[in-house]
Chains A and B, each alone.
Chain A
Amino acid sequence: MSAILEVRDLEVAFRVGPLVRRRSLLAVAGVSFDVRPGETFALVGESGSGKTTLARAVNRLQRVSAGSVNFEGRRIDTMSRGRIRPMRQRMAMMFQDPVGSLSPRMRVGDAVTEPFRIHKVEASLKEETERLLSLVGLPADFANRYPHQLSGGQARRVGVARAIALRPKLIIADEPTAGLDVSVQGEVLNLLNDLRSRLGLAMIIITHNLSVVSHVADRMAVMYLGRFVETGPTEEIFRAPKHPYTAALLSANPEPDPDKKSARISLPAEVPSLLARPAGCEFHTRCPWARDRCAKAAPRSEGRNRLVACHFPLAPNASPPEKETVQ
């Protein structure tokens, strides 16, 4: 099936510093991926890796510096403001911070029907409110509540209701479970999974929580300094990560079992600045496996279904070489 979203060599640059010494930093540095209808694609990475900027660029909330974004076969990164707006009915965004992304002065009922007013879509707002609240599993009388009367999980459900209001084809969810307790986190993920199969939604989920990814995403991409270091089917990557950074991330996720002392791959704590990207492979300054070549030449992303940007992709269950990493 053809992709609903095609992103090619996308770059987002920010200009920083005082006027006289203005410099440019690449927050997203050439990223390509497809999202197929009904598929969930996860963007994983740590703070500052460019996940949120990439998502905002896809939705045109952020200006694209280079590359292209095609949504449902139409190029949207060069569209005029007036033309992009109707596209956003079909591509909804769920922002971080469930409570903070709702207006404190707007009742739940008004918040979930606001998309109809913004896009001037004719509908019975009362019926739509009921439909949306029941889809996300909230009682109908919640329509009269204000955000401060909601728990984190309930506020997140309202965010989901808003996102699906206009029956979009693609939802971009930025950290949908951040700040939620584990018992509630499961509810939100179950809801997203359920809506996806019932409404045939495609989803991009941005998160730093790997255990979330393994349960919702079909495919995933691991970001580091604005680039994809590894992409592929979620299950394969979890079973056998090939990029050292992916392996380190996966190993840093402790399980609730005291007998499984984790074979953690520890990385030096300091992440390089986007203004001073390391030469060669950009991960070599923190990579336990780095060799001479890594500091000299940048690796290319190799592979078709599974892409790995590493000179020396890892074998399954590789453990780091026995040497003290320089802190």
Chain B
Amino acid sequence: MSELEILDLSVSFATGGGDLQALNKVTFKVPEHRIVGIVGESGCGKSTLIDAILGLLADNGRIDGGEILFEGRDLTKLGAKELREIRGPRISTVFQDPMGALNPVFRVGRQMTNIQYRSGLSKREKARRAAEMLRRVRMPDPEAALSRYPHEFSGGMKQRIAIAMAMMMEPALLIADEPTTALDATLEAATIDLLLELQNQIGCSMLYVSHHMGVIAELCDEVVVMYAGEVVERGTTRQVFLKPRHPYTQRLIECDPARLAGRAEKLPTIPGDIPDLRARPSGCVFAARCSLREEVCGEPPPENVREGHMARCHRAAEN
């Protein structure tokens, strides 16, 4: 069974220069207890996708079609009140900037008890649970931490508090949007370990968004590769990283300097820019930058699926 299923989701934004189609028929599943990674570079639609799932699209954004199925309900059809009952207790989020998740003028303890307002517990019980959660994210001296303000913590510790808050209601789905990008390498490693441990204990599924291929390879069970608002490749982590079938995924993995042992004279790059999403190309979205481009690429590429490994490319059958 899937915790979250996204079907043919299209989202556009009304801009001065015309409608910008940010997501085009995005389809993927997050199965129960699994971690699904979304990779892609700036402008690929990662953040729009998360906003759409959470019902937080900007005022000029609109869902043009498709479904977001969560626990049997289509989130695109729910009203603001029903969404509020899902956001937090059932779907929670951790964002890149932990300070954005914390209110700077309230003590951590007050914020952590406030978000339990639906639990019906006593004040004391809420405080006990808050301290317990901080202990689980390995905060030194959790009771004392409750009476401190967010600015008194380092970036890594603030992110731990944000993770503790996101996990406190034991959600069914955790959405993590670049949660380690602002952290240093050693803290990044520790935070990933922590997320894995909590995900295991709580038994939730996780949608992990990152542009860092190494982190995705290490953490996720399945991977969705996005480019210019489309899913270009989808499969298990081993399928996608070891036998990528879409040229964009292949180039992206090649570009990661962590992959190259020793010093490279010339680092690989992907020349060109993403297409203007106000005037999407009629064929393959990656064609303009693809070194394997052919005439047929002017036509929309079909989804080629083999052993659950999908690639949206005319030449996918060869790979």
**A-to-B contact residues, CB < 8 Å:** 46-47, 151-152, 181-187, 189-190, 193, 208, 210-212, 214-215, 234-235, 248-249, 251-259, 261-262, 264, 266-267, 269-271, 327
A254 lies within 8 A of B258 (CB)? yes
Given contacts A47-B184, A269-B138, contact A259 B242 (CB under 8 A): yes
B242 lies within 8 A of A258 (CB)? yes
Which residues of B are found within 8 Å of A47, using beta-carbon distances? 155, 184
Question: How many positions in chain B have a CB within 8 Å of any CB in the partner chain?
Answer: 49
Q: How would residues 233 to 271 of chain B score, 1 for a CB under 8 Å from any chain A CB and 0 otherwise? A: 000011001100000000111011111101111111111
Residue of B nearest to A187 (CB): B269
Residue of A nearest to B160 (CB): A269
B186 lies within 8 A of A327 (CB)? no
Besides the known contacts A46-B187, A253-B185, 11 further A-B residue pairs in the complex with CB atoms under 8 A apart? A182-B255, A182-B257, A183-B269, A183-B270, A208-B184, A214-B260, A215-B264, A254-B218, A258-B218, A258-B238, A259-B242
A211 lies within 8 A of B269 (CB)? no
**B-to-A contact residues, CB < 8 Å:** 41-42, 138, 140, 154-157, 160, 184-190, 193, 211-218, 237-238, 241-242, 251-253, 255-260, 262-271, 273
Which residues of A are found within 8 Å of B238, using beta-carbon distances? 258-259
A183 lies within 8 A of B187 (CB)? no
Contact with A46, one of B184, B257, B260 (Cβ below 8 angstroms) = B184
A270 lies within 8 A of B157 (CB)? yes
Given contacts A190-B269, A254-B218, contact A211 B184 (CB under 8 A): no
B269 lies within 8 A of A186 (CB)? yes
- Ordered by A's residue number, 10 sampled pairs between the chains whose C-beta atoms are within 8 Å are A46-B186, A182-B41, A182-B256, A186-B269, A210-B185, A214-B263, A215-B267, A252-B189, A253-B185, A256-B214
Residue of A nearest to B220 (CB): A258
A249 to chain B, nearest CB (A): 6
Most buried by B among A46, A184, A256: A256
Counted as pairs of residues, one from A and one from B, with CB atoms less than 8 Å apart, the total is: 129
* Alpha-carbon gap, A249 to B218, bound state (A): 16
B257 lies within 8 A of A185 (CB)? yes
A139 to chain B, nearest CB (A): 13
Residue of B nearest to A212 (CB): B257
Residue of B nearest to A46 (CB): B184
Which residues of B are found within 8 Å of A214, using beta-carbon distances? 257, 260, 262-263
B258 lies within 8 A of A189 (CB)? no
Residue of B nearest to A184 (CB): B269
Given contacts A184-B269, A249-B186, A257-B241, contact A211 B218 (CB under 8 A): no
Which residues of B are found within 8 Å of A187, using beta-carbon distances? 269, 271
B191 to chain A, nearest CB (A): 8
Which residues of A are found within 8 Å of B269, using beta-carbon distances? 183-184, 186-187, 190
Residue of B nearest to A213 (CB): B257
A257 lies within 8 A of B259 (CB)? yes
Given contacts A152-B42, A182-B213, contact A256 B186 (CB under 8 A): no
